């Protein structure tokens, strides 16, 4: 009994003691909280920080999300939780609406103006937006990380006064009105160059305002309407005004970054770059990661066994409710074209297209919510479609993308369908193209844009993978399409000839697309770092290295004839010969297929201008062979070299083709029947401009520099002296045959002399590439002088033999021009 009593007393002692301790702790916490509130109140007095209810009044219109946003009369506030301070976010500035012609026509609604990695940082009684850079990084545990931070100090984009604290002190309140209504250059849609071009003087505050602020769980969207005073605007110059609408997206980046995958230039990907100072090499290590979605298998064991597995989070696109009903099935099919390539990477149902939910189904759904990727249908006269995406600059993870389809884009495809396939394809010989054909075209355009949103750039080498003759074979074209990749600009089969039955004319997915998806998206078992994946990734590339079907060709190449835009086939001369045969048939029938049916000339005029552009593309594909260099990305363990000059015989074949097809008089292309009904003048100028463009391309400083450079590594190369001689003989062939000079040939010969004068006077100015050389100290001017001297002698002999006054005057004028070039004094 005594023992029990003793134990009860001990328990009671501990209980009292524990209760006393808890009471003391609570009293201490209350005292600390009271002290904190007192300190904040003192701070408020010092810095004019107000009570929450004095700032966020009962009149506030509030929106909860990543931050709470509040509108009080005409002021906007962010309530930023302390837990989100110093968290990495992406600030994306996009142009939503813009005036016609802004940026020379190369800027579209939806174009991104800036992407910046930012953090919100509290400093004394202010909150700062700091712009961070992942261009230079180092492991946090290494001493060099201190130096990296010291030598890459982040700029402060903006500083906000704290105007209030949340009622429970869990957040700071700042006024963002001035930030979003001012001309902050780092958020602006007008670049420095645009401001200079359009002579922008200032932002007009009276005509600029914040349109809306919306908060979502992972992002905040702000829409601004800005009007600038500009002396030389892109449209309606008398207004001296540029108005544009900007969309500012602030996006919370993933708490756990995705494991990145290292880029290899032998496979085409959009990328992000870093310089890693953690490297043990004697320099910073440049790391480039591919941009891709985070796809992780639901059942990793089954995935590793080679079974098809659904991803934990598939890529989902929603259809814009504004999309015309009849087009929805084609857009959905275009998105889901990529399901098969993803199966090659082991994922089932990896990408899905859905109808946007109705208000009843999901009242909170919004296309601006970063959780949703949307295919937007835009009522605009723009003929384009784009596939931008937002990615994490730390790892390349694609977080969201919106495909933008402009209403008038299908008209461009209808026109090209008629012009490029009409000779061999009866279904294309109409302005009222069938819904089935237009739908299939749209499906493939959407597939192409989705490809961009998945991380793939243009692969301009894919269309060079197939032999020209295969484009005339039904079985081949139906199986392989017209390019090895949907990411090439190879839209139609313009090679197939009249009488070739059942060939495919419209592009489709190709074998390269399956290969690229597998390379970028397949999860590699037990690879826990980007470096540990490289051996397997290299193996996948090397297995396909000798098959041109899997070659990547960069869009940026202006010198590689196997990586050109809008071409098909592995032989430009042969392909363009077939193409011009077809184009002649189209030119002869264009009136019957258009104005005769519609009883007006509007479509005929538009299509004829586009026909001239089509001719220019076919000719341009051939011209690139002269001075051309094949570029095939390799690693040192692979056989062969990265750069190889186009063989001399092929370059000479290209020049001969141009002499016969581009520089001859265009009797079939200058269709007088069409011109007499669509233009009162300008007939000669239309074709002169086309011919001169081709001539200037092959007589460029870049082309001559590459021809000269080739002589160093290949003694059998096409020497510039031989090229210039053969070009001169062709351009001035009438002097050797005493043929009559047409007006087209006289124009071309004068253009030749003007270009030779350019070569004698101009220095090399090419900032877009690494090509550069000292022209005045090269052979160029000596060669040009020699050619002009030879031409002068020939003209002096032949000018008296001319039978027409125009030709005599022309040659006398040419002599005077040559003399002025050779002896400017």
Closest CA relative to residue 590, chosen from 494, 495, 678, 680: 678
Q: What is the pLDDT of residues 736-754, one digit of tens each?
A: 887 888 999 999 999 999 9
Highest mean pLDDT among 24-38, 353-367, 629-643: 629-643
Is it the case that residue 710 has pLDDT exceeding 50?
Answer: yes
28 band by pLDDT with thresholds 50, 70 and 90: low
> DSSP labels for 349-402?
S-EEEEEPPPTTT-TT--TTSTT-EEEEEE--S---EE--EEE-TTT-BEEEE-
Mean pLDDT of 203-210: 91
Looking at per-residue pLDDT, the higher value among 211 and 282 belongs to: 211
- Of 85-99, 111-125, 396-410, 642-656, the one with minimum mean pLDDT is 396-410
Q: What is the percent of the chain with per-residue pLDDT over 70, rounded to a whole number?
A: 88
* CA distance linking residue 303 with residue 342, whole number of Å: 13
Contact between residue 204 and residue 226 where contact means Cβ atoms under 8 Å apart: no
Is it the case that residue 654 has pLDDT exceeding 90?
Answer: yes
User: 7 CB contacts (<8 Å, ≥6 apart)?
Assistant: none
How high is the pLDDT of residue 144?
Answer: 43
* CA distance linking residue 424 with residue 494, whole number of Å: 9
Mean pLDDT of 346-363: 92
- Classify 124 in phi/psi space as left (phi over 0), alpha (psi -120 to 50) or beta: left
User: Partners of 403 in the beta sheet?
Assistant: 375
* CA distance linking residue 692 with residue 563, whole number of Å: 23
Q: What is the pLDDT of residues 754-794, one digit of tens each?
A: 999 999 988 766 544 556 788 888 999 999 999 999 999 99
Closest CA relative to residue 496, chosen from 421, 583, 573, 416: 421
Contact between residue 98 and residue 109 where contact means Cβ atoms under 8 Å apart: yes
Q: What angle do CA 516, 521, 524 make, to 5 degrees?
A: 115
How high is the pLDDT of residue 421?
Answer: 97
- Of 140-154, 607-621, 782-796, the one with minimum mean pLDDT is 140-154
- The DSSP letter of residue 693 is H
User: Partners of 221 in the beta sheet?
Assistant: 214, 249
555 band by pLDDT with thresholds 50, 70 and 90: confident
Mean pLDDT of 653-670: 93
Looking at per-residue pLDDT, the higher value among 659 and 23 belongs to: 659
* CA distance linking residue 159 with residue 122, whole number of Å: 10
Is it the case that residue 63 has pLDDT exceeding 80?
Answer: yes
Instruction: Work out the number of other CB atoms within 10 angstroms of the CB of residue 712.
Output: 8
* CA distance linking residue 624 with residue 647, whole number of Å: 13
């Amino acid at each position: 009994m005594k023992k029990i009593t003793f134990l009860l007393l001990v328990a009671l002692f501990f209980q009292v003691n524990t209760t006393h301790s808890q009471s003391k702790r609570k009293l201490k916490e209350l005292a600390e909280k009271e002290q904190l509130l007192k300190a904040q109140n003192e701070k408020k007095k010092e810095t004019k920080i107000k009570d929450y209810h004095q700032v966020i009044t009962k009149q506030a219109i509030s929106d909860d999300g990543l931050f709470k946003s509040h509108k009080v009369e005409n002021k906007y506030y962010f309530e930023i939780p302390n837990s989100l301070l110093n968290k990495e976010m992406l600030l994306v500035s996009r142009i939503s609406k813009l005036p016609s012609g802004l940026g020379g026509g190369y800027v579209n609604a939806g174009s991104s103006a800036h992407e910046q990695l930012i953090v919100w940082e509290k400093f004394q009684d202010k909150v700062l937006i700091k712009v961070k850079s992942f261009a230079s990084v180092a492991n946090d545990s290494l001493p060099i990380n201190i130096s990296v931070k010291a030598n890459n100090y982040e700029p402060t984009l903006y500083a906000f006064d704290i105007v209030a604290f949340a009622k429970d002190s869990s957040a700071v309140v700042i006024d963002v009105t001035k930030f979003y209504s001012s001309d902050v250059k780092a958020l602006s849609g007008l670049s420095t160059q645009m401001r200079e071009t359009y002579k922008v003087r200032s932002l007009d505050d009276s005509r600029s305002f914040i349109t809306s602020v919306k908060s979502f769980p992972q992002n905040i969207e702000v829409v601004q309407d800005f009007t600038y005073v500009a002396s030389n605007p892109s449209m309606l110059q008398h207004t001296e005004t540029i108005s544009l609408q900007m969309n500012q997206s602030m996006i919370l980046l993933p708490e756990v970054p995705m494991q990145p995958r290292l880029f290899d230039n032998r496979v085409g990907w959009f990328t992000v770059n870093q310089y890693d100072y953690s490297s043990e090499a004697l320099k910073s290590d440049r790391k480039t990661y591919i941009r891709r979605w985070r796809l992780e298998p639901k059942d990793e064991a089954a995935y590793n066994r080679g079974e098809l597995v659904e991803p934990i989070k598939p890529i989902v696109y929603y259809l814009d409710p504004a999309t015309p009903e009849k087009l929805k099935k084609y857009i959905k099919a275009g998105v889901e074209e990529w399901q098969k390539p993803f199966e090659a990477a082991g994922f089932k149902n990896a990408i899905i297209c859905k109808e946007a939910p109705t208000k009843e189904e999901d009242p909170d759904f919004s296309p601006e919510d970063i959780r949703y990727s949307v295919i937007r249908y835009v009522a605009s006269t723009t003929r384009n479609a784009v596939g931008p995406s937002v990615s994490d600059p730390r790892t390349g993870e694609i977080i969201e993308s919106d495909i933008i389809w402009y209403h008038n884009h299908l008209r461009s495809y209808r026109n090209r369908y008629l012009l490029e396939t009409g000779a061999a394809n009866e279904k294309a010989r109409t302005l009222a193209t069938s819904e089935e054909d237009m739908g299939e075209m749209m499906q493939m355009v959407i597939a192409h844009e989705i490809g961009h949103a998945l991380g793939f750039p243009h692969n301009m080498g894919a269309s060079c993978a197939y032999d020209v003759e295969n484009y005339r074979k039904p079985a081949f074209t139906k199986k392989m399409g017209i390019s090895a990749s949907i990411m090439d600009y190879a839209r139609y089969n313009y090679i197939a000839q009249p009488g070739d039955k059942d060939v495919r004319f419209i592009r489709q997915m190709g074998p390269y697309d399956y290969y690229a998806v597998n390379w970028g998206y397949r999860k590699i078992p037990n690879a826990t770092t980007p470096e540990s994946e490289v051996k397997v990734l290299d193996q996948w590339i090397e297995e396909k290295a000798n098959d041109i079907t899997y070659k990547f060709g960069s869009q940026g190449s202006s010198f590689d004839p196997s990586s050109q835009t809008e071409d098909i086939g592995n032989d430009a001369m042969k392909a363009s010969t077939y193409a011009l045969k077809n184009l002649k048939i189209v030119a002869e029938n264009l009136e019957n297929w258009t104005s005769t049916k519609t009883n007006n000339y509007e479509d005929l005029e538009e299509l004829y201008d586009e026909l001239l552009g089509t001719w220019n593309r076919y000719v341009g594909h051939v011209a690139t062979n002269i001075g051309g260099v094949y570029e095939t990305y390799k690693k040192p363990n692979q056989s062969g070299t990265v750069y190889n000059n186009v063989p001399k015989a092929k370059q000479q074949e290209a020049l001969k083709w141009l002499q016969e097809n581009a520089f001859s008089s265009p009797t079939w292309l200058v269709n007088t029947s069409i011109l007499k009904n669509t233009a009162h003048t300008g007939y000669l100028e239309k074709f002169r401009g086309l011919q001169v463009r081709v001539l200037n391309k092959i007589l460029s400083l870049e082309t001559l520099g590459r021809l000269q450079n080739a002589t160093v590594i290949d003694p059998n190369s096409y020497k510039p002296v031989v090229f210039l001689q053969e070009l001169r003989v062709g351009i001035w062939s009438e002097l050797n045959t005493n043929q009559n000079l047409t007006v087209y040939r006289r124009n071309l010969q004068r253009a030749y002399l003007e270009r030779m004068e350019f070569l004698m006077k101009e220095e090399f100015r090419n900032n877009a590439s690494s090509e550069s050389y000292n022209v005045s100290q090269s052979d160029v001017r000596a060669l040009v002088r020699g050619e002009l001297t030879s031409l002068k002698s020939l003209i002096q002999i032949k000018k008296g033999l001319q039978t027409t006054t125009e030709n005599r005057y022309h040659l006398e004028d040419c002599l005077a021009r040559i003399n002025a070039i050779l002896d400017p004094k």
